[in-house]
Amino acid sequence: MAIREIRVVPDPVLRTPCDEIKSITPAVRRLVEDLLETVDDPGRAGLSANQIGVSLRAFSYNIEGKIGYILNPVMEEKSGEQYGDEGCLSVPGLWYKTRRADYARVRGIDLDGNEVVLEGSGLMGRMLQHECDHLDGHVYLDRLEKEERREALRYMRAHAAK
């Protein structure tokens, strides 16, 4: 197991839709171990595989003391609305109010091929949507209003040059 380095925007792996996991290999098992170890840090709610440079559909989470993972998640349902602060390990130092559904449910599998359903409202709902976005090649900045998105990208360019 290893704590992996987090990829940051504009790394192209963050903009590439991730591939479905076709079989549970030793490499996939190591990936899950690394995702779980890397997300196990205060302030980290979720971590997708592409954020550590692996373009496979998997993410780990750390919500209210519960740490877990899911492979090949598919968003099944979203409802309600929340508008609150959101940040991202791949967009360090920036937090913006972001509109999301309040409730979300995803379905996927675990390392034994068993079905897994993750669902929740509030922070859990936000994390599920945020991580599924990552796996589809999107970052939360894509959901911001145009002027906020411009401001965030200007900030990132200015700080990347330092």
Beta carbons of 94 and 43 less than 8 angstroms apart: no
CA distance 18 to 76: 18
Whole-angstrom distance, CA of residue 2 vs CA of residue 37 = 7
How confident is the model at residue 161, as a pLDDT? 60
Q: What is the mean pLDDT of each run of 10 residues along the chain (162 residues)?
A: 89 97 98 97 94 98 96 98 96 94 98 98 98 97 91 83 58
The verdict on whether residue 159 carries a ligand-binding annotation is no
d(CA 131, CA 2): 20
Residue 157 pLDDT: 82
Indicate which residues carry an active-site annotation: 131
Q: Is 134 annotated as a binding residue?
A: yes
Q: What is the second-level CATH architecture of the domain 12-159?
A: Alpha-Beta Complex (3.90)
Is 88 annotated for ligand binding?
yes
What are the residue ranges spanned by the domains of the chain? Answer: 12-159
The pLDDT, as a whole number, for residue 158 is 83
Residues 6+ apart with CB under 8 A from 62: 39, 40, 41, 44, 45, 46
pLDDT confidence of residue 1: 66
Task: Determine phi and psi for 101, rounding to 5 degrees.
Answer: -70, 150
pLDDT at 31: 98
